[in-house]
């Protein structure tokens, strides 16, 4: 048995005000097994209602079968919205589809479909602001 020093928190919470003035909060936790097998639960709350996106516990990083989308507008009932996984022209493992999409987008010069240096720098700057604010 190997002992490893823990270097990452189990729970991360970031909250603040976006440049647009909107309030935002993000909570992320790493748990080996969730009580309801949901990997990510993303709630978007607004003045007129709420949207919930959930992903399965496993493979939540890629858009895979099992994602759900619910919308509640006003005092009405929440409604499930179908947004099925698009049919792919790629063969091979389900896990390789994201890589195939990236290569295809790059070949077709669809720069909005993949990260570039400018986007990575913007993410790094945002994370630096969060780190500085947390001290």
With CA atoms as reference, report the closest residue to 89 among 111, 104, 110.
104
Residue with tokens 């990575």: 120
pLDDT on residue 125: 93
What is the distance between the alpha carbons of residues 28 and 40, in angstroms, rounded to a whole number?
A: 8
pLDDT on residue 107: 94
Q: Dihedral (C-alpha) 41, 64, 36, 39: value to the nearest 10 degrees?
A: -50
What is the distance between the alpha carbons of residues 37 and 8, in angstroms, rounded to a whole number?
A: 22
Domain locations in the chain as residue ranges: 1-85, 87-135
Mean pLDDT per 10-residue section of the chain, whose length is 135 residues:
70 81 78 78 85 77 74 91 65 70 90 88 90 83
pLDDT on residue 121: 94
For the chain, helix (H) and strand (E) counts, in that order, are: 2, 6
pLDDT on residue 73: 92
């Amino acid at each position: 048995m190997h002992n490893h020093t823990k270097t990452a928190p189990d729970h991360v919470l970031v909250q603040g005000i976006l440049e647009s003035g909107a309030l935002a909060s993000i909570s992320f936790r790493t748990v080996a097994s969730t009580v309801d097998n949901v990997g990510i639960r993303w709630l978007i709350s607004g003045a007129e209602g709420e949207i919930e996106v959930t992903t399965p516990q496993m493979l939540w990083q890629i858009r895979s079968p099992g994602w759900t989308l619910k919308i509640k507008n006003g005092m009405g009932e929440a409604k499930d919205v179908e947004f099925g996984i698009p049919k792919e022209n790629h063969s091979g493992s389900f896990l390789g589809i994201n890589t195939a999409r990236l290569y295809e987008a790059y070949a077709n010069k669809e720069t909005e479909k993949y990260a570039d240096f400018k986007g990575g720098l913007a993410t790094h700057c945002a994370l630096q602001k969060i780190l500085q604010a947390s001290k």
